Structure formats: C-alpha cells, structure tokens
Amino acid sequence: MVVMHTSNGAVDRRHLQRRVVRVLALGQVLGGLGVGASLALGALLVTDVSGSSAWSGMAATMNTLGAALLAVPLARLAQARGRRISLSTGALTAMAGAAVTIGAAVLGSFPLLLLGLALLGAGSALNLQSRFAATDLAQDDTRARDLSLVVWSTTIGAVLGPNLFEPGEVIGRALGLPELTGGFVIAFVAQAVGALVYLTALRSDPLLLAVADGESAGRGRPSPAGGLAVLRGSSRARRAVLTVALSHAVMVALMSMTPVHLTDHGASLSIVGLTISLHVAGMYAVAPVFGWLADRAGRRATILLGQAMLAASLVLSWLGSSSHALVTVSLVLLGLGWSASTVAGSALVAEAVAPPERPKLQGVSDLFMNLAGAIGGALAGPVLALVGFDGLSAALLVLVAVVVLSHRGGGQGDARADAPAAARGAGR
C-alpha cells in the first residue's frame, strides 16, 4: 500500500494509521501471551535448575536487564531500517530466547538459562517500542489515544498468559521436554507468529513514512548524534524521559514488595493474587481513558494527575500499611497513576523531537525506564527490611516530588506541546 501525498493524503494517512494500530495491538497480544506464559514460570525454572530458591529473583532481573540492553539497539535498527524490521527482529530475538531457555532446562545449565531469560527480554523491549510505533503517523489530536490503545492491548496477553500454564505443560510433556518448559514453547510460537505479523503487515512502514514526510517538509535528515546527545539537547525530552522512568521505578518498587508485606501480615495467597490482579488491571485496562485525556486536557495535566494518584497510593500504603483493604486500594491507585503518567509521558517523548530523531530518544527512554525499574525493585527489598512497608512508601514520595517539580514552568515550546489537542491543532 502506498500513501498518496495529495489533497486526499490525510485520509490515506489516517486509514494507514488505523491499520498500523491494529497490527501493533495484535503484536502486543501475541507478545503478552509469550511473556505472560513464561515470566512467572521463569522463577520456578531458575529455582529448579539452580537448586536454590535464592536465585528465583534472577528470572525477572534478567528479563528486565535484557529489555534494557536491547532497547537502544532495536531503536537504532528502527531508525536505520524502520519499525517493521526492528519489531520483527525483537520478536525473533525473544523467540531465540525461548529456545535457549528450553535448551538450558534440558541440559541443566544455569548460565545458559540466564542467557535465555535475558534474550526473552527482547519481547518486553519490542512491546515498549510498539507504543512509540503507534505515534509515528498519528495526528496531534489522537497521538496519545493511539499509543494508549496499544498499551491497553497488553491486558489481553497479561490476563490470558498465566492461564496457559497447564496447556503449556501438556504441550511440553507431549514433546518430551522437562517440567516447567511448556510455557516457553508457547512463548516461542507466539513470538514466531508476532514476527510474521510485523514482517507482512507493516510493509508501509510508519516510521519510514514519517521520516520521509519530515524530509519533504524541510525538517531534515537524522543527525549523527546519539540518543543521549538528543536527550541533553532538549529540556522537554529530559522531562518526558524522567517522568516515564521515575514513575516506573515507583510502581515496580512498591508493587514488588506488596506480596511480601501482605503475606508477612497474614494475608492469604488469594488476597495477594487479587491485589496484584487489580493492580495490573489499573495499569492497562483504562489506558485509553488516559490517552483520550492526554489528547484533550494536555500531556502535562495528565502527567500531574498520574503523579497525584501515585502520591495518593503511597500515602495510603504509608498510613494504612496494616490494613489489607487499604493496601489493595493503594495498589489500584498505583496502577492507575503509572498508566496516566506512562501514556502521557510516552506521548511527550514522541513529540519532544522531530521524527528523524525520535527512535534514538525512544530507545534511551526505554533504557532508562527498564534500568529505573530494575534499580527500584532491587533497592526496595533492603529499604523494606530497614524501615518497613510504610517507610518504603514514604521514601518513594520523593521520586513523585521530583517528577512534579520537573513539570513546573517550562518554555513556550513546552506550553504549546502540552496544550490540549484543540489548541495544538488550531490553524492546521
């Protein structure tokens, strides 16, 4: 399909954008199935292969580090070859990770298992890049909404994935594979189908078209500067990346310690499971609402709303740490605050620089987001041991304050970009 740059070009562009969002949403569902079916099993498989539960946290750690390390290379590939090649390469890398993980279980090799789990992090990296791919051809008045629809589609895979544990084990036994590897077979197949979807359905590559539009409009070609140089050169970019990274750190730190806190205070596993399920629902299920709000009320207003919800969550878990009900409400607010901040912050990342420079900045943003989550999760345990769940909640308020203060003031460019869509689109 060729986009016509005629008087009807806007109609063709909108039609293509709708198709791109549908393709990305399908890719997110497939990726979510793979991650959801394998990530929780990873901790059990690490324990089984290593022989010690002390290593169980390495499953999530390696996945997060893998996503962080692969974010920039995949972004560079997107800039050089387009989203189609970058996303399909990410899916194929995750597919290889699933195969290596299965092989490690067969061989009983712990180092090989860690490598496989790190390669599986490509699935998380491409899921993050997909939300930015949804903004390449988006109009100003729908950019955050389109991004949020791709984020929302993660809900399907996140909900269905864990329910595939048993079918996965049936498949694994039929193939003669070790226990706990069936979910990785599902991940392998899901990523293979995802790669095929990206390769065949994104042939009118949204990023390459956006860059070509920018060049025809006189906005130039990509500069040789790297992502960090782009970040240093734009205060709006720094604010956007800071918002996404610190919001993620707050979410991961509190969420990862909640099961420990609840079980230490006598909560049943069903209560813990319900709390985390409601938290995940808050993260993804209402993302389109925040996308719509970011387009209508502005990026900054939606970010500040998200930070207000994060602050309310932390205050509630600080003052009500002894109440299971209040902690559950706190986790729901935590998910909602993360969703609002991430959707609006990601839209701001996409708008902070011209299209030719976006992939580099987006790769750096995903790198910092994953590193912030990894650091937040790693430090949350020692902080919990030192000052308790209420102390951890109080300490995380500092990160919320940093984000809020970073959005005070701003230049004229910030005010225009963060304004509601109606104001940004005036005169077009």
Task: Report the CATH fold assignment for 228-423.
Answer: Growth Hormone; Chain: A; (1.20.1250)
pLDDT, tens digit (0-9, with 9 covering 90-100), for 155-186: 777 667 666 777 888 888 999 998 888 888 98
Please calculate the CA angle 397-403-404 and round it to the nearest 5 degrees: 85
The total of other beta-carbon atoms located within 10 Å of residue 354's CB is 16
Encoding tokens for residue 150?
């791709």
In terms of C-beta density within 10 A (0-12 exposed, 13-18 middle, 19 or more buried), how is residue 200 classed?
A: exposed
- Is 80 exceeded by the pLDDT of residue 55? no
Q: Are 226 and 360 in contact (CB under 8 A)?
A: yes
Burial 289-301 (b: 16+ CB within 10 A, else e): bbbbbbbebbbbb
Question: Which residues lie closer than 8 Å to 189 by C-beta, 6 or more apart?
Answer: none
Encoding tokens for residue 404?
């809020």
Which residue is it, tokens 């706990």?
180
Phi, psi of 35 (to 5 degrees): -65, -45
Burial 238-261 (b: 16+ CB within 10 A, else e): ebbbbbbbbbbbbbbbbbbbbbeb
pLDDT, tens digit (0-9, with 9 covering 90-100), for 83-105: 999 999 999 999 999 999 999 99
**By mean pLDDT, which of 58-67, 144-153, 368-377, 414-423 is the weakest?**
414-423
* Entry pTM: 0.80
For residues 3 and 185, give the distance between their C-alpha atoms in angstroms, rounded to a whole number: 38
Examine domains 9-216 and 228-423 and report if their fold is the same: yes
As a whole-number percent, the residues of the chain with pLDDT over 90 amount to 38
Nearest CA to 37 among 189, 252, 150?
189
Q: How confident is the model at residue 249 (pLDDT cuts 50, 70, 90)?
A: very high
- Is 80 exceeded by the pLDDT of residue 343? yes
Whole-Å CA distances, 254 to 4, 212, 258, 266: 49, 43, 6, 18
Nearest CA to 359 among 77, 138, 100?
77
pLDDT, tens digit (0-9, with 9 covering 90-100), for 198-215: 999 998 899 998 888 765
Phi, psi of 93 (to 5 degrees): -65, -45
Q: Are 58 and 357 in contact (CB under 8 A)?
A: no
CA dihedral 67, 71, 74, 78 (to 10 degrees): 140
In the chain, where the domains are located: 9-216, 228-423
In the CATH scheme, what is the code of domain 9-216?
A: 1.20.1250.20
Mean residue pLDDT of the chain comes to 84
- Is 70 exceeded by the pLDDT of residue 25? yes
**C-alpha 144, offset from chain centre:** 15
Nearest CA to 191 among 78, 104, 282, 100?
100
Q: Furthest-apart CA pair in the chain: how many Å? A: 66
